């Protein structure tokens, strides 16, 4: 992303072809929520690994090559934890990024794994030096320090087609967005400070892959591992796969 907090705010958000990468992933949320409203989940419509709509795969679909490349990467490598780094604010956002009420610009829209996402966001926010300091100033008008410097993405502003929502609904990956600086275009001399602000937070965040349950799902008779076994947890309407 390019631009600073004083000028060129939206510069660099669009590709050379004029595509906004921040909204360019397939909207899987709407299909899931429509299926939920019609009581089709999970027996007739999955609550995870939601397939990409056919229209999105067409050659003439408005999908940037960068977006297609990232999706191909996600499908080849079984990521479980991710973060994407933005500038312009000091806050960590977590899915869902898209409001469930389609006409609302802001609406709290938690995932079934809201407690895990809130934990992941809090780990980063509390160890990021710029966010954690009591002397931090507001970037704009939102005082995110009052809420621990984390927010549900949709409760801040709706983003249809976000990478976070796509990762969660199409893969096993849990992804958050880190808005790591008020200034979207810091001077080169400021980069060492930005690194120090984020170094420990990045390391602590990566360590979260060791939380939760780990193991191998095996065939009872052969004891061989079972690929693509669906794992369901009571009370969480979002399964994962081995």
Annotation marks residue 194 as catalytic: no
Please tell me which residue in 89, 179, 196, 200 is annotated as part of the active site: 179
Cross-strand bridge partners of residue 179? 86, 91
Query: Rounded distance, CA 213 to CA 171, Å?
Result: 18
Query: Rounded distance, CA 179 to CA 85, Å?
Result: 6
Helix (H, G, I), strand (E, B) or coil at 161: coil
- Name, in order, each residue with C-beta under 8 angstroms of 45's C-beta and a sequence gap of 6 or more: 31, 32, 35
Closest-CA residue to 97 (of 108, 85, 89, 112) = 108
Report the first-to-last Cα separation within the chain, whole angstroms: 35
- Name, in order, each residue with C-beta under 8 angstroms of 32's C-beta and a sequence gap of 6 or more: 41, 45, 47, 50, 169
Enumerate the active-site residues.
Answer: 179
């Amino acid at each position: 992303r390019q631009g600073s907090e004083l000028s060129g705010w939206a510069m660099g958000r669009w590709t050379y072809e004029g595509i906004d990468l921040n909204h360019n992933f397939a909207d899987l949320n709407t299909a899931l929520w429509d299926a939920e409203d019609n009581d089709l989940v999970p027996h007739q419509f999955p609550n995870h690994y939601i397939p990409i709509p056919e229209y999105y795969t067409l050659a003439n679909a408005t999908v940037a090559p960068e977006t297609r490349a990232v999706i191909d990467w996600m499908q080849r490598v079984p990521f479980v934890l991710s973060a994407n780094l933005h500038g312009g604010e000091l806050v960590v956002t977590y899915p869902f990024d898209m409001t469930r009420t389609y006409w609302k610009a802001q609406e709290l829209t938690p995932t079934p794994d809201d407690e895990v996402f809130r934990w992941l966001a809090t780990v980063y926010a509390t160890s990021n030096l710029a966010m954690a300091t009591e002397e931090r100033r507001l970037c704009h008008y939102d005082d995110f320090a009052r809420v621990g410097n984390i927010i549900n993405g949709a409760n801040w502003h709706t983003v249809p087609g976000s990478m976070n929502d796509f990762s969660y609904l199409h893969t096993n990956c849990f992804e958050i967005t880190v808005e790591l600086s008020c200034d979207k275009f810091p001077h080169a001399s400021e980069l060492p400070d930005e690194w120090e602000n984020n170094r420990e937070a990045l390391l602590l965040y990566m360590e979260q892959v060791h939380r939760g349950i780990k193991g191998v799902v095996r065939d009872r008779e052969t004891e061989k591992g079972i690929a693509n076994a669906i794992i369901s947890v009571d009370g969480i309407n979002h399964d994962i796969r081995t």
